[in-house]
Amino acid sequence: MSRFKDLQKNLFGGTTSNARQFGMIFTLLAIVLLFQFLTADKIGVGFGDGLTLRSDNLIALFQQNSYILILAIGMLMVIVAGHIDLSVGSVAAFVGILVAKSMADWSLPWPVAILFGLALGAAIGAWQGFWVAYIGVPAFIVTLAGMLLFRGANQFVGNADTIPVPPGFQKIGGGFLPEVGPDTGYNNLTLLLGLAACVAVVWRELQSRRTRKEMNAEPAPMWVSVIRMAIMVGVLVFVTLRFAGGRVGTSFPISGLILVVLVIAYGFYTRNTAGGRHIYAVGGNSRAAELSGVKLRRVNFFVMMNMSVLAALAGMIFVARSAASGPQDGLSWELDAIAAVFIGGAAVSGGIGTISGSIVGGLVMAVLNNGLQLLGVGTDRVQIIKGLVLLLAVALDVYNKSQGRFSIIGSITRPFRREASAEPASSSAAGSEPAKTTVAG
Amino acid sequence: MRNFFGKSVAVGAIAMLALTACGSGRDGDDKSGSGGEAAKGFAANSLIGVALPAKTSENWVLAGDLFTNGLKEAGFQSDVQYAGASTTVADQQAQITAMVTKGAKVIVIGATDAAQLATQVSAAHNAGAKVIAYDRLILNTPDLDYYVAFDNFKVGQLQGQALLDGMKKKKASGPYTVELFAGSPDDNNATVFFNGAMDVLKPEIDKGNVVVGSGQKDFKTIAIQGWKAEGAQARMDQLLTSTYGSKTIDGVLSPNDTLARAIIQSIKSRNKPVPVVTGQDSEVESIKSIMKGEQYMTINKDTRNLVKETINMVKSLQAGTEPQINDTKSYNNNTKVVPTYLLPPVAVTKDNAAEAYASDPKLAPLTK
């Protein structure tokens, strides 16, 4: 039994948010496998031939959702700081139409147009950040105004037209890693990317063991580390081969690559830098944070501005994938992004949440959407199901917290823990361990 | 530790290489092969995907039901999907991609935004599926195979003509005061309807026989985003306030029934006499309105026939024969002229309603 406890404690992480996050990862895996089974069953083939995990579907899944996941990164930081941003869809649409127009009317080269779009996002973000941070208008109101303002601006500029964008620009949303090197039967760059990810996972695991040893903390048993690495490397190898082995001409999407880079960069920023921790401090208790020297206004200004820059990027990626900017771009994207963040374990009151958790939350919604579509379930019923999932995921978390227990995994393994209940249940909630390794991207 | 690190990297690399070596299931690019495949057709029980816009009018709901039943009768498996109410374009993109994944042989698309589906249509084409644009032409892609629709320019002409005839019936001579409405600017058809109507109305306007009360004649100004009823009602409210305080209005060019009823609603709420209002789509509520003498006309574009022709096309493709086409020059989607099958629309007023809907089980009783 103690081995099981070891495994439970060390494999899934000890702190509340880590445990919640691993719970979400298992939920995600369960949903993926469920849909793999259901789609295979529906078309009458073996489990391995189900549609969900097929190369083309995984690729499509990433392409379709990368823009929402990018929004979720920014939204997580906004929500952790205790705010909300309702304007992201409108900002994305406004930037999208201006970028499309800049290429069509002023014949701006597409790389310049992308920079122009990002600068525009920064300007819009500075505008919203100014009202939130320096005037003190609640972000809900500022961004509600922004939602109307930039939706209107989108229609004013675009005249409700659909404006096509050039093929070069389409690459950032619809492009793939190119085919280079010898013919291995797979996309070589995707293989390299996967290999790099495997090495990173192993390196991080070993690094964290070394740190714990240096701090004279008891590292997790070696066999737990090995199992953990084996699972992660196994999943990575599988996913890499799926992405690399799609139809010739397709591979890991460029938009997915942008997403991965952002997840790693922002993950590092929020976890390991002073600036990132300040966001959590402000969200947890802004008064206390201010008294301990955190520049409140600067943090608030930054998260709002950052959100709009990411919204601009998301808008451009969507326009690129759609090959045109249209009047309905961005409608209710904010809701998808907010849902992803809360499913991923962020607290409504601020101060709690992780980037990787939000990405997993976004993926849960994406896989649900995709799987139900593959099964031929209509959008009306899909929306009902997604609504219920959002409510249940957050309700379960709230309930578990009020019971002093943690997360899904905690409740699954509760019967086992009771027998060996040397430690009180509440001790697990306090961050009894230093920052654990989390799964990167 | 370092040793272990080195080992695990090696193991990972070897595992990946080993898996790489044992043959990949990568399919070739189907682009070259699809021509030959078309000649052969495909299995009779193949999956046919149908992606339709959000359920904003009765017409699309009816079309969905007809596709589901019709494809089933023809022996195909069908997957009929509607876009959601709010995220229409993204939904439709995802649905079409899912159909491609499921291996649909033909994908019929009623586009929500005609210019934002090029990527998905190309993906379908590359996977060997045939793509038929249903009712709305998909723009900017060379990979669209066929287009099937009612002759929409003709629809506009019929609306314009009916507007003139209707006003003449009420008031023997002009000048007649009218207002113009058009459909959603992201729907390619909206422009075609309007141009058709103006083809008839423009000469009369130039002669001064027909006057646009507000002076708003530009498509962008009179278009109603998303074909939304509340949009048309709001615009009519504003026109009545700005232009028709004391004047009376003789006629309104409305592109479809939903907008027509919204316009009539607006006029009735001001206690003004209902002018001649055109429509399109033969919606139940509008037929009732026509029989009551409020809305003047609608267009019968029998969805049954359109769906039937589309399914006939699918059947020909299945058998490996060339589908029936009757227009190979009018519909250019900016990259190619799309082979098209056009069906003729019919104008319906109170006078010929009974005859026009005789074969329609839902509408026929309303015309008695």
B19 belongs to a structural domain: no
Residue B13: the pLDDT is: 55
Residue B77: the pLDDT is: 92
Say yes or no: B84 and B98 in one domain. Answer: yes
Mean of pLDDT over chain A: 84
CA-to-CA distance for B276 and B280, rounded, in angstroms? 14
DSSP result, B34-89: HHHHHHH---TT-EEEEEE--S-SHHHHHHHHHHHHHHHHTT-EEEEEE--SSSHH
Optimal mutation site among B2, B65, B89, interface A, most CBs of chain A within 10 A: B89
pLDDT at B20 over 80: no
pLDDT at A100 over 70: yes
Structure tokens at B108: 């019929």
CA-to-CA distance for A332 and A336, rounded, in angstroms? 7
A237 and B15: CB-CB below 8 Å?
yes
Lowest-confidence segment of A245-249, A309-313, B219-223, B281-285 by average pLDDT: A245-249
- In total, how many domains does chain B have? 2
Given B23, B101, B220, which is nearest A54 (Cβ)? Answer: B101
Given A54, A155, A369, which is nearest B94 (Cβ)? Answer: A369
Strands B346-349 and B297-300: antiparallel
Say yes or no: B115 and B241 in one domain. Answer: no
B21 belongs to a structural domain: no
- Higher confidence at residue A130 or residue A414? A130
Range of the domain at B336: 34-144+303-343
Say yes or no: B326 and B278 in one domain. Answer: no
CB B153 within 8 A of CB B196: yes
Question: For position B116, which CATH number holds?
Answer: 3.40.50.2300
Q: How far apart are the CA of B364 and the nearest CA of chain A, in angstroms?
A: 31
All residues at 6 or more sequence positions from B167 whose CB lies less than 8 Å from its CB, including other chains: B174, B176, B178, B250, B251, B275, B276
3-class DSSP state for residue B219? Answer: helix
The pLDDT of A97-107, averaged and rounded, is 93
Residue B14: the pLDDT is: 57
CA-to-CA distance for A147 and B129, rounded, in angstroms? 39
Structure tokens at B150: 């009612």
**pLDDT band (50, 70, 90) for residue B10:** low
Say yes or no: B117 and B238 in one domain. Answer: no
Say yes or no: B131 and B158 in one domain. Answer: no
B15 belongs to a structural domain: no
| Torsion angle (degrees, nearest 10) of CA A414, A415, A419, A420 | -30
- Higher confidence at residue A21 or residue B320? B320
DSSP result, B129-168: -EEEEESSPPPS-TT--EEEEE-HHHHHHHHHHHHHHHHH
All residues at 6 or more sequence positions from A406 whose CB lies less than 8 Å from its CB, including other chains: A16, A19, A20, A400, A428, A429
B309 belongs to a structural domain: yes
The CA–CA distances, whole Å, from A232 to A66, A235, A251, A252, A371 equal: 22, 5, 21, 19, 23
B6 belongs to a structural domain: no
Find where tokens 């039943």 sit.
B69
CA-to-CA distance for B91 and A417, rounded, in angstroms? 44
B7 belongs to a structural domain: no
HSE-up of residue A249 (Cα within 13 Å, Cβ side): 11
- Chains A, B: CB contacts within 8 A come to 167
Is the minimum CB–CB distance between A418 and chain B shorter than 8 Å?
no
Closest residue in A to B13 (Cα) is A195
ipTM of the complex: 0.72
Say yes or no: B179 and B55 in one domain. Answer: no
Strand ranges inside A281-386, DSSP E: 324-325
Structure tokens at B58: 């009765």
A332 and B12: CB-CB below 8 Å?
no
Say yes or no: B296 and B175 in one domain. Answer: yes
Say yes or no: B309 and B288 in one domain. Answer: no
Backbone angles phi, psi at B342, to 5 degrees: -105, 135
CA-to-CA distance for B199 and B176, rounded, in angstroms? 17
pLDDT at A230 over 80: yes
B46 belongs to a structural domain: yes
CA-to-CA distance for B89 and B37, rounded, in angstroms? 30
CA-to-CA distance for A50 and A295, rounded, in angstroms? 52
Say yes or no: B297 and B186 in one domain. Answer: yes
H-only helix segments in chain B: 2-21, 34-40, 58-73, 88-101, 118-126, 152-170, 188-207, 219-222, 229-243, 257-269, 284-292, 303-319, 353-356
B26 and A241: CB-CB below 8 Å?
no
**pLDDT band (50, 70, 90) for residue A427:** very low
B71 belongs to a structural domain: yes
Residue B242: the pLDDT is: 85
Q: How far apart are the CA of A124 and the nearest CA of chain B, in angstroms?
A: 23
All residues at 6 or more sequence positions from B295 whose CB lies less than 8 Å from its CB, including other chains: B257, B260, B261, B264, B277, B279, B286, B289
Residue A228: the pLDDT is: 82
Q: With contacts defined as CB-CB under 8 Å, which chain A residues touch B60? A: none
Say yes or no: B173 and B203 in one domain. Answer: yes
Lowest-confidence segment of A100-114, A223-237, B130-144, B300-314 by average pLDDT: A223-237
Closest residue in B to A184 (Cα) is B20
CB A351 within 8 A of CB A78: no
Residue B107: the pLDDT is: 95
Residue A421: the pLDDT is: 42
Say yes or no: B191 and B327 in one domain. Answer: no
Backbone angles phi, psi at A430, to 5 degrees: -70, 145
Say yes or no: B288 and B190 in one domain. Answer: yes
How wide is the angle at C-alpha B79 spanned by C-alphas B74 and B85, nearest 5°?
A: 135
Backbone angles phi, psi at A174, to 5 degrees: -115, 0
Q: With contacts defined as CB-CB under 8 Å, which chain A residues touch B126? A: 247, 249
